[in-house]
Structure 1
Amino acid sequence: MKLRDIAHARTGDKGDTSNIAVIAYDPADWPQLEAQLTEDLVARHFARTGAREVTRYALPQLCALNFVIRGALAGGVTRSLALDAHGKCLGATLLALELPSVD
């Protein structure tokens, strides 16, 4: 199952750091989201962006996870030649992630 099947995302940026909040559509999917969407999985998903460090913050009252991804924006808005220097597309990229199968 794709992450987008159970959640939506919001993104932000500060310098070379991207911030992606992933929010479950249904609170019933929160346990799966919390268990499967790990820092390691997100770091591997964004490895080719140059991301150096991923930190995850859980917000269980909102059924959300917030990921702070350092080094993902090729220097940030004022230094990057990327078309998406703010990293707004990174939320959509994360939502395309295939979640591990639940046994």
Structure 2
Amino acid sequence: MRPLIAYTFRRSLSGRVMETAFLALSRGIAHPALSRAIGLLSLCVLAAALVVLVPQLAEQLTKPAGIAQRTGTFTSPIDVPAWGNIAIGVATLAAGAERALRLRLSHLLDSA
């Protein structure tokens, strides 16, 4: 099987087609379904972390006496053990890094 770049270079006289093929290879879009699945998974992890960690953060921010007197206290409906918070944090870091790298290599941003 020939590499995609060599095939595109020989077949097209247009630089745009060659550039598109190079960008597709450099982004790992040789497997677009896998790429979409990883992107969807990272988006789901970030959304789940937002749903779990924001109420816990709100609870911690309303605990101090001065704030509790003015606004009242908030009790998070989600109680996650420490190891769960660590696992969510690590998964969020990985998903965030994946989304940041995907955004950095976006053809919408590269073509501008």
- Identify the structure with the greater helix proportion: 2
**Could you state the TM-score of these two structures normalised by the residue count of structure 1?**
0.21
Q: Report which of the two structures shows the higher radius of gyration computed on alpha carbons.
A: 2
**Which one scores higher on RCO, CA 8 angstroms, separation ≥ 6?**
1
